[in-house]
A and B are shown apart, each in its own frame.
Chain A
Amino acid sequence: MTTATSFSSGVLGSDGRAAFGESRLRHYFRHILRKNLGLCVFSFLYEFLCMPLPYILTAANMRAQENPAAESFFTGTGGLFASYTAQFLFNLSVIGLPLLYCTLQYAFLYRRQSTDLIHSLPIRRRHILLLNYAAGALLILMPLLANFLITLAAAFGFGSTEFSLPEAFLFLATCTISALALLSICTLVCVLSGTLFDSIVYSLGVYFFLPVLAMAAIQTVQNMLRGFVSPDGGFLSLSSPALLPSYLQNTFPSLARTQGLRAGAFGLVGGSARMDEVMQTAVPLFAALGIWLLLAAGLLFLALFCYDRRRSELSGRTGFNNPLTLLLKFSASILGGLLFSGLFIATSGSDAVWLRLLGSVFGSVLIYCVAECILARGFSTLRRALPMVGAGALLPVIFLVVLSCGGLGFEARLPAAENVEKVEIAFEDRYGFARLDLTTARQAQAAYAASGGQYAGYYGSTYVNTVTLEQESAKALVHDLHDALIRSDEHGGVGITLEYTMKNGSVLRREYGNWMNPEAMEFYNRLNAFEEVKRQTQPVFSFDAPDIESVTLMNRLMFGVTPAMLTEEQTQTLIEALRADILAETYDQMTDAKPLGYVCLKPRFFNVDGHKMLSMPLPAGESAFDDCYVLITDAYQNTLRLLTTYGYAGFDSIDFSEIDHAYASISQAQSSLNILQLMGPMYFSADDLDAEASYGPADYETLFVGSDLEVLLENAENSCYASRADISTERMAALEPSFASDNRVTVNLVLCPAGRGRTVELQVNPAFLPRDILEQFREGWKNDHARAGYAAGLDELFDALVDSILESGVGAVAPFPPEESEDTQSVRITNPS
């Protein structure tokens, strides 16, 4: 037992007397800090494990592995974190600490005993709240700042030249404002809540209800409203301070750029070039941070207002109705309505409006009732809540009814052609090229060269897959295309995006994810013939000779690869010739001209992200994914003349003796509407011979050799052409009865050369195979796959198709009139009729 004597001479005497002289507010502030010191230490340690420690360990490890001879040297990470996981875990602390602090510090509001103590103290409520807020901010931000500074010191200590200070400070600002805003939210929620459970549930609800609700609404609109353009989902993250750090993580992935540790080997852009990039990219973030800072202050004042009026007797009570509870219950109800509406549609396979509405009502009522029972801890308030349940169910129903009726005219809105200034259309030309903008790559190369680094040829470049049309005739064609999209209920898998800039400056955007129909496709295809489209889609118009590393010529089966030994001047002349021929090519020539081969332009740069420029995957061993293949037809007279001049006249010849054997199989192609009619040889690919090992009996069981192979090759070559040339709907429908159906089968051939070399995989229209080959293949296919019990549906479909082709007599037609063909090897197909 402590005695009075020991006390009077003890520690408390001096401390207590010192405290006695302190102001009441300072005294309370210190009390809060002392009470939560453990939280502060915990958060410091946790954040230290996420940020400085991994950075230091990784940097030390990489420094030890420096190898100047291999040009692999440490230049530091781009940001504060050594991995995305570390950054994610750090973000969790930014989100979680305000909630943890508030639930601990405001717990006195939820017990009558502690409320008695705090509220009977001679201190005003507003001071209690402000001091708690200030202490919380200090306790949360101090560890953050300390760890930030430690990491910064480590980065400079290790000589990290690539460390991006702007991004690091942006991260600090984002986390600071995010934590303050979350602290305000949690403070307000705690003041309005009666129990700890409520405060946690409400806080998490307020954290996420807005982005979640917006995401569900946008998803619903996207599913129901034809043409609706979904906004960038990333911006939804800005609607909650809890998601600001993750937005930053997604926007600036270099904050955790582990590959940057060996940046010297990859020639990354120096830090000095990053400032502008950061400032430009972060504009939405800056705006969001400013708004959230203001909102943090506003929410804090609102919390003060509410706390002044809070009844102490609310402690320990739950389920009382206040605006916050209602807001969350309504949000949950709307969310439930939208989700169950989608669920009913997805599980039933129907798209009926009444089913959507039924699902919505069911979901809304269910979720509202569940929320009501949880928050009220029972069923006692359920009966009185029925009007609110009804209101909660009504909101999503109204929303869905509006959408199902066309979104108040949204779906039918078609801008008058005369009011359109220009239209941008996301477009892939017939070969699936996307234009490559090399501006960034050139700037990066120059910046790195200026800083004394060694060029490594590994730079990012920008794809431009949007064409801008200002020609009146092109705009009129897009108008017709848009009209066809609106009018028809037939739809397929090809997506299209339109963005009109009106003469009055307004912008109208529409995105049709899967609403392409044959009529619209016809308009779409005709756009290929417009100069604006050609110039903006063909990579040939992006490249100049200095950008080209090599030129290769190939025949139309991509055999007979001929490297073209050209000077830079000759290459430039070739590019000019290609441009002239492409610009001169008419729509009829696109559909009917005879293909001869390909000119492959291999650019000096290849893309940092590994995206391909082509729809055709090409040999991986040659790193040619980004090569530009231009199909040369007999209409390309300028190019053909030039190649003849350069001594490459026979590049298009085909030597079938190269092929030793071939495998064949069938597959179910996508819907006919998925295939743009003017595309090049679809699914045409070549690979190393070693890849043949993967084409074993499991995939291609029908093996052609000898005389069968010869017949097959002749027709396969022709069908390769035919799949491109016979493109009109009418002609294709006449040739292949299944074309109009969504179930379309194709024959896949893998042609294998005798020695080492590339295999070629062709996807062939069965209508172009001769009868005997077709029948032989059918029998082989049925025997092989019947045993395996595989693809019964496909088997039947293929069977029916073969019968149909054989009975109609249109199989094995000759797309070239024999008299026009000078190449005796190319066509040996006779029409049985």
Chain B
Amino acid sequence: MIKAEHLTKHFDTPPDTVLALDDFSTEIGSGSIYGLIGPNGSGKSTLLRLIAGVYRPDGGSLEVDGQSVFENEHIKERIFFVSDDFFYFPGATVDEMAALYAGFYPNWSWERYAELSGKFPLERKRKLQTFSKGMARQAALLLGLSAQTPFLLLDEAFDGLDPIIRTAVRKILSDDVSRRDATVIITSHNLRELEDLCDHVGLVHRGNILFQKELDELKLGFCKVQAAFRPLPDPEEIKKRLDVLSLETHGSLIHLVARGNSADVLALLEDYSPLFSEGLPLTLEEVFISEMEAIGYDYSNVLF
């Protein structure tokens, strides 16, 4: 369990001070894949570095399994941090980096390393400096997954990975969570990347968390419907009868997102004799935009 309460972190960049996290509070339960989404500079990476013990909090508290992380080697050996630009020692190979990490993480598994090495197409004896961005990213994931820590922090983990490897990584992460009850925190500014992977998501904006929910719960509360009419009914009247979050008209076609399940919404639209009507799948992006608008945020200010 990761618990942050009133967490504050600022960076002094004379002559300014940047508030990266401002009174940030959250709880991330064990055994889940937690997606941390937000625009660039929202504080996602800062939060991960705080959880990894790289940064010291300026205010508030951050506890992992009930203990403070910073300078706590017993907690830090339970956390592996894959940063967005993972560092390799000059001239090091994957095997050499693995040897380094093996001495630090008690759960490190060479068997797991061997097993995963077969899944990532990497030359382990080759110098990492010669790797492409995607290959270096794969190496970092390989190392992080082999460490078998209860907490795995992935900052922009899928950046640079090809679709096949992405799919493979998704599967490996899901397996890890189910097999070891691990907690994975993934940051991204791309909602679609996390959609099929996370079971929890949190939206970070301007150093604070706007909301966080279980993904299924989030999707169940909304539905997306499209219907064609002749003539087009008054949209304002539809809005009055439904809890509409968004409604767009394109000629005689209406797209709407509303709270509730799609069967109820479609039944209500039958009153207007549509030429046709159907429920559509909701993307995570649409859910977020809708939810944010619902809590009063102008989604256009939150760039994805």
A398 contacts the other chain (Cβ, under 8 Å)?
A: no
Stretch at the interface among A21-29, A65-73, A219-227, A750-758: A21-29
Interface membership of chain A positions 19-62, coded 1 if the CB is closer than 8 angstroms to chain B and 0 otherwise: 11010100110010001000000000000000000000000000
Contact residue among A2, A35, A320, A384 (Cβ-Cβ distance under 8 Å from B89): A35
Chain A residues with CB below 8 A from B105, complex form: 122
A119 to B99: give the CA distance in the assembly, Å. Answer: 18
Interface membership of chain B positions 102-123, coded 1 if the CB is closer than 8 angstroms to chain A and 0 otherwise: 1111001011011101100111
Chain B residues with CB below 8 A from A4, complex form: 114-115, 117-118
A20 to B86: give the CA distance in the assembly, Å. Answer: 22
A13 contacts the other chain (Cβ, under 8 Å)?
A: yes
Contact residue among A1, A24, A124, A317 (Cβ-Cβ distance under 8 Å from B104): A24
A354 contacts the other chain (Cβ, under 8 Å)?
A: no
Name A261-316 residues within 8 Å CB distance of B.
Answer: 308, 311-313
Chain A residues with CB below 8 A from B99, complex form: 12, 15-16, 19
Whether the pair A121, B104 counts as a contact (CB closer than 8 A) is: yes
A111 contacts the other chain (Cβ, under 8 Å)?
A: yes
A113 contacts the other chain (Cβ, under 8 Å)?
A: yes
Contact residue among B74, B79, B83 (Cβ-Cβ distance under 8 Å from A113): B83
Which residues of A does B touch, CB under 8 Å?
1-4, 7-8, 12-13, 15-17, 19-20, 22, 24, 27-28, 31, 35, 108, 111-117, 119-125, 308, 311-313, 317, 319-320, 380-381, 384
Whether the pair B87, A120 counts as a contact (CB closer than 8 A) is: no
B54 contacts the other chain (Cβ, under 8 Å)?
A: yes
B259 contacts the other chain (Cβ, under 8 Å)?
A: no
- Asked whether A13 and B110 contact (CB < 8 A) given A4-B118, A116-B54, A319-B14, the answer is yes
Whether the pair B95, A3 counts as a contact (CB closer than 8 A) is: no
Whether the pair B87, A121 counts as a contact (CB closer than 8 A) is: no
Chain A residues with CB below 8 A from B49, complex form: 116, 120, 312
Closest Cβ–Cβ distance, residue A783 to chain B (whole Å): 76
Closest Cβ–Cβ distance, residue A772 to chain B (whole Å): 86
A121 to B123: give the CA distance in the assembly, Å. Answer: 25
Contact residue among B53, B56, B102, B115 (Cβ-Cβ distance under 8 Å from A16): B102
Can you name 23 A-B pairs with beta carbons within 8 Å?
A1-B123, A7-B117, A8-B110, A12-B98, A17-B110, A20-B102, A22-B103, A27-B103, A28-B103, A31-B100, A116-B49, A116-B87, A117-B86, A117-B87, A119-B52, A120-B49, A120-B80, A121-B76, A311-B56, A312-B56, A320-B12, A320-B14, A381-B15
- Asked whether A116 and B103 contact (CB < 8 A) given A1-B123, A4-B118, the answer is no
Name B55-111 residues within 8 Å CB distance of A.
Answer: 55-56, 71, 73-77, 79-81, 83, 85-87, 89, 95, 98-100, 102-105, 108, 110-111
Q: Interface size of B by Cβ–Cβ distance < 8 Å?
A: 46
Residue among A13, A119, A311 facing the most chain B CB atoms (10 A cut-off): A119
Whether the pair A120, B76 counts as a contact (CB closer than 8 A) is: yes
Chain B residues with CB below 8 A from A17, complex form: 110
Chain A residues with CB below 8 A from B250, complex form: none
Whether the pair A124, B71 counts as a contact (CB closer than 8 A) is: yes
Chain B residues with CB below 8 A from A313, complex form: 11, 55
B125 contacts the other chain (Cβ, under 8 Å)?
A: yes
A111 to B86: give the CA distance in the assembly, Å. Answer: 11
Contact residue among B73, B80, B122, B123 (Cβ-Cβ distance under 8 Å from A124): B73
Whether the pair B74, A114 counts as a contact (CB closer than 8 A) is: no
B3 contacts the other chain (Cβ, under 8 Å)?
A: no
B124 contacts the other chain (Cβ, under 8 Å)?
A: yes
Chain B residues with CB below 8 A from A22, complex form: 103
Chain A residues with CB below 8 A from B103, complex form: 19-20, 22, 24, 27-28, 31
Contact residue among A16, A35, A113, A317 (Cβ-Cβ distance under 8 Å from B87): A113
A397 to B239: give the CA distance in the assembly, Å. Answer: 80
Chain B residues with CB below 8 A from A117, complex form: 83, 86-87
Chain A residues with CB below 8 A from B73, complex form: 24, 122-124
A312 to B11: give the CA distance in the assembly, Å. Answer: 10
B132 contacts the other chain (Cβ, under 8 Å)?
A: no
B13 contacts the other chain (Cβ, under 8 Å)?
A: yes
Whether the pair B54, A2 counts as a contact (CB closer than 8 A) is: no
A319 to B12: give the CA distance in the assembly, Å. Answer: 12
Contact residue among B15, B114, B115, B123 (Cβ-Cβ distance under 8 Å from A384): B15
A123 to B83: give the CA distance in the assembly, Å. Answer: 18
Whether the pair B89, A317 counts as a contact (CB closer than 8 A) is: no
From B71, which residue of chain A is reached at the shortest CB distance?
A124
Residue among B54, B71, B122, B123 facing the most chain A CB atoms (10 A cut-off): B54
Interface membership of chain B positions 202-245, coded 1 if the CB is closer than 8 angstroms to chain A and 0 otherwise: 00000000000000000000000000000000000000000000
Chain A residues with CB below 8 A from B114, complex form: 4, 7-8
Chain B residues with CB below 8 A from A114, complex form: 87
Whether the pair A3, B87 counts as a contact (CB closer than 8 A) is: no
- Asked whether A113 and B71 contact (CB < 8 A) given A20-B108, A22-B103, A122-B76, the answer is no
From B89, which residue of chain A is reached at the shortest CB distance?
A35
Interface membership of chain B positions 19-61, coded 1 if the CB is closer than 8 angstroms to chain A and 0 otherwise: 0000000000000000000000000000001001111100000
Whether the pair A3, B118 counts as a contact (CB closer than 8 A) is: yes
Whether the pair A125, B53 counts as a contact (CB closer than 8 A) is: no
A24 to B73: give the CA distance in the assembly, Å. Answer: 10
A115 to B81: give the CA distance in the assembly, Å. Answer: 12
Closest Cβ–Cβ distance, residue B56 to chain A (whole Å): 7
A110 to B182: give the CA distance in the assembly, Å. Answer: 32
From B95, which residue of chain A is reached at the shortest CB distance?
A12
Whether the pair A115, B54 counts as a contact (CB closer than 8 A) is: yes
Whether the pair B104, A123 counts as a contact (CB closer than 8 A) is: yes
A312 to B87: give the CA distance in the assembly, Å. Answer: 15
From A11, which residue of chain B is reached at the shortest CB distance?
B95
A153 to B73: give the CA distance in the assembly, Å. Answer: 47
Chain A residues with CB below 8 A from B53, complex form: 119-120
From A310, which residue of chain B is reached at the shortest CB distance?
B56
Residue among A2, A27, A108, A120 facing the most chain B CB atoms (10 A cut-off): A120
Residue among B77, B98, B102 facing the most chain A CB atoms (10 A cut-off): B102
Closest Cβ–Cβ distance, residue B17 to chain A (whole Å): 12
Whether the pair B123, A2 counts as a contact (CB closer than 8 A) is: yes
Whether the pair A16, B98 counts as a contact (CB closer than 8 A) is: yes
A313 to B45: give the CA distance in the assembly, Å. Answer: 12
Chain A residues with CB below 8 A from B75, complex form: 122
Contact residue among A2, A24, A312 (Cβ-Cβ distance under 8 Å from B125): A2
Whether the pair B87, A122 counts as a contact (CB closer than 8 A) is: no
- Asked whether A1 and B121 contact (CB < 8 A) given A16-B98, A312-B49, A320-B12, the answer is yes
A7 to B108: give the CA distance in the assembly, Å. Answer: 15
- Asked whether A7 and B113 contact (CB < 8 A) given A119-B54, A120-B53, A121-B104, the answer is yes
Chain B residues with CB below 8 A from A28, complex form: 103-104
Whether the pair A2, B124 counts as a contact (CB closer than 8 A) is: yes
From B9, which residue of chain A is reached at the shortest CB distance?
A313
A2 to B87: give the CA distance in the assembly, Å. Answer: 22
Known: A4-B115, A24-B73. 16 other contacts (CB 8 A): A1-B122, A1-B123, A2-B123, A12-B98, A19-B103, A24-B104, A112-B85, A115-B54, A116-B52, A120-B49, A122-B76, A123-B104, A124-B71, A312-B55, A320-B14, A380-B15
Closest Cβ–Cβ distance, residue B186 to chain A (whole Å): 16
A807 to B167: give the CA distance in the assembly, Å. Answer: 117
Contact residue among A2, A121, A122 (Cβ-Cβ distance under 8 Å from B74): A122
A116 to B86: give the CA distance in the assembly, Å. Answer: 8
A712 to B83: give the CA distance in the assembly, Å. Answer: 98
Chain A residues with CB below 8 A from B14, complex form: 319-320, 380-381
Contact residue among A1, A2, A27, A125 (Cβ-Cβ distance under 8 Å from B71): A125
A111 to B88: give the CA distance in the assembly, Å. Answer: 12
From B69, which residue of chain A is reached at the shortest CB distance?
A120
A722 to B85: give the CA distance in the assembly, Å. Answer: 91
From B88, which residue of chain A is reached at the shortest CB distance?
A117
Chain B residues with CB below 8 A from A319, complex form: 14
A117 to B77: give the CA distance in the assembly, Å. Answer: 13
Name B266-283 residues within 8 Å CB distance of A.
Answer: none
Whether the pair A116, B98 counts as a contact (CB closer than 8 A) is: no
Chain A residues with CB below 8 A from B111, complex form: 8
A320 to B95: give the CA distance in the assembly, Å. Answer: 38
Closest Cβ–Cβ distance, residue B127 to chain A (whole Å): 14
